[in-house]
Amino acid sequence: MGVKAFLEATKTPGTVVLYGCPGEEGGAAKAFMARDGLWYGLDAALTWHPNDANEVLTGSSNSCIQTQYHFTGVAAHAAGDPDRGRSALDAVELMNVGVQFLREHMSDKARIHYAITDAGGRSPNVVQPRASVLYMVRSNHVAEAVELQKRVDKIAEGAALMTETTFEKKFIDGLADTVTNHALERVLYQNFQELGVPSHTTEELAYADQLSATYPGNDRLPGVGSQYDLDYAEQARALRTKAGHAMNDFLLPLYQGDAFEPGSTDVGDVSWQCPTAQIHVATWPNGCPGHSWQNVSCGRTDIGHKAALHAGKVLAAAAMDLLTQPALLEEAKAEFQRRTVAGYTCPIPADAVPVVAD
Ligand SMILES: [Zn+2]
């Protein structure tokens, strides 16, 4: 809205689009939007995510594909008629064993997780006629994840063959890895520096300090760069010490070295279709674990609201620079072209619709 007002007031030509992006945690909305090509027309995309520090984010993330396998067998008395039963639970177990052997023969960065979502019932004396397993296949590059997924599908086929059961595959969602853009990161950093960081009242700081006493790791060093660069880690330590409380009320230095996040985000799919960059704004105390109740406890506080508003300011100010300084955008686009030569492989099939796992 700020950028729109700026464009109108200064009569600057340009278009700003605010995308509603539901289901960011597990729904992969931006990836479904990417499947339908919604990001290709943009000169640049800017976004933010809550975190424990104020920083410009960099680096790649894992691609991830979620698929649920529903096996169907034949129920029978496990003692009286075992020859007439076909166990769907056996199929799930054999599939898991097969995937276990696959793990030795995949890339180091790949990860395969599973959860048995239906074990077929509570009666050992009934051959289980149904069983389901939900798989997450992660690999650093989306094209690799798609290939790895095909190998997991073959194992499901093998398990069905061995147990004389059948299975149906339900595609849940898919996310690409993230393509970094250093040029955009620099524009975000400059604006973050100029605008500073949200400040907190004594009351808010006391709340954050109390919260930080409830989880291990509250002395962890903030910032993605701290995991990769010793000098950077020392700078982060000095800033933490100076802050003297649990909220990181400072901007971390710009880090543009190698970085990799084993988790996954649907920002990845956007980053394959247009130059994309992200910031973190301190929304909870230092070291607060992701997806924890302590995260949630900051969401509707003034700490959370300040972070959201401040993120909007930094993103808007950076967008204004991009709209008024074409050279910045050209640099970002040139870098985007270099980094996306391989092209976007969409992990989402053409006919898939967003669903929730059973
Ligand atoms: Zn998230």
> Ligand 1 mean position to 207 CA, how many Å?
23
> Ligand 1 mean position to 164 CA, how many Å?
41
pLDDT of residue 261: 85
> Ligand 1 mean position to 25 CA, how many Å?
5
- Mean residue pLDDT of the chain comes to 95
> Ligand 1 mean position to 24 CA, how many Å?
6
pLDDT in tens, 255-301: 999 999 888 999 999 999 999 999 999 999 999 999 999 999 998 89
Percent of the chain with pLDDT over 70: 100
Half-sphere exposure of 176 (CA within 13 A, CB side): 25
pLDDT in tens, 295-354: 999 988 999 999 999 999 999 999 999 999 999 999 999 999 999 999 999 999 999 998
Q: What is the DSSP string of 27-40?
A: T-HHHHHHHTTTTT
- Report the C-alpha gap between 313 and 281 in whole angstroms: 11
Looking at domain 63-175, its CATH class is alpha beta
> Ligand 1 mean position to 122 CA, how many Å?
35
pLDDT of residue 150: 97
* 25 vs 55, residue with greater confidence: 55
pLDDT of residue 308: 96
Cα 98 to Cα 92, 121, 256: the distances in Å are 10, 23, 40
Tokens of 123: 């009666």
- Report the C-alpha gap between 133 and 172 in whole angstroms: 12
Sequence spans of domains, the chain: 2-61+178-339, 63-175
> Ligand 1 mean position to 38 CA, how many Å?
20
> Ligand 1 mean position to 235 CA, how many Å?
27
Residue 26 pLDDT > 90: no
Residue 25 pLDDT > 90: no
What is the 8-class DSSP label of residue 326? H
> Ligand 1 mean position to 290 CA, how many Å?
9
Average pLDDT of span 163-190: 97
> Ligand 1 mean position to 49 CA, how many Å?
6
Residue 22 pLDDT > 90: no
pLDDT of residue 170: 95
The confidence band for 358, taking pLDDT boundaries of 50, 70 and 90, is confident
Q: What share of the chain is helix, strand, coil (3-state, %, to 5)?
A: 40, 20, 40
pLDDT of residue 188: 98
Looking at domain 2-61+178-339, its CATH class is alpha beta
Average pLDDT of span 185-211: 97
> Ligand 1 mean position to 73 CA, how many Å?
38
pLDDT of residue 55: 98
What is the 8-class DSSP label of residue 103? G
> Ligand 1 mean position to 125 CA, how many Å?
43
